[in-house]
Amino acid sequence: MHRGVRLTPARKEVFALLSKHEGAIGAYDLLEQLKQVVPNAKPPTIYRALDFLQAQGFVHKISSSNSYVLCSHFEKQHPVQMLICRQCGSVQEIHSEGVHEQFLNQANAQGFQVEQQTVEALGTCSQCVPKSS
Ligand SMILES: [Zn+2]
Ligand SMILES: [Zn+2]
């Protein structure tokens, strides 16, 4: 584990489950899997673990599908753009400084303080794009 963060068994399990899972996964699917290792796990268990992992920057929430994906960078809260495939559900994380800067500039112009910024793009990933013959 990174940065000496203390993890409870439930948090550690949720982290392990997310790291084994390809793409994004919903909280209830995670709960079902968690119950196999932590039989008394309840929805608050999973939400607390996910909140914690999000705050640590280990996990990103994908609002459009209400699911979670492991962060590929393990930085404390960073701006992120997500490329979400509608076909296979894969999630790719990109960091475009240009996008982030423009975003902040426009927000600042409105006098708005940005605390967290996630951009979600829905589409088709390179694996799922129909091959042209
Ligand atoms: Zn990330
Ligand atoms: Zn795909």
What's the fold here for domain 80-123? Dna Ligase; domain 1 (3.30.1490)
Q: How far is the CA of 21 from the centre of ligand 1 (A)?
A: 16
Cα separation, 84 vs 51, in Å, equals: 21
Q: Note the pLDDT tens digit of each residue in 103-133.
A: 899 999 999 998 878 889 999 999 999 877 6
Q: Where in the chain is the domain with CATH 1.10.10.10?
A: 9-70
Model pTM? Answer: 0.79
Q: How far is the CA of 44 from the centre of ligand 1 (A)?
A: 24
Q: Note the pLDDT tens digit of each residue in 40-95.
A: 999 999 999 999 998 888 899 998 888 999 987 766 667 889 999 999 888 999 88
Architecture per CATH, domain 9-70, reads as Orthogonal Bundle (1.10)
Give me the pLDDT at residue 76, please.
67
CA–chain centroid gap for 3, Å, is 19
**Of the candidates 53, 81, 67, 64, the residue with the CA atom closest to the CA atom of residue 24:** 67
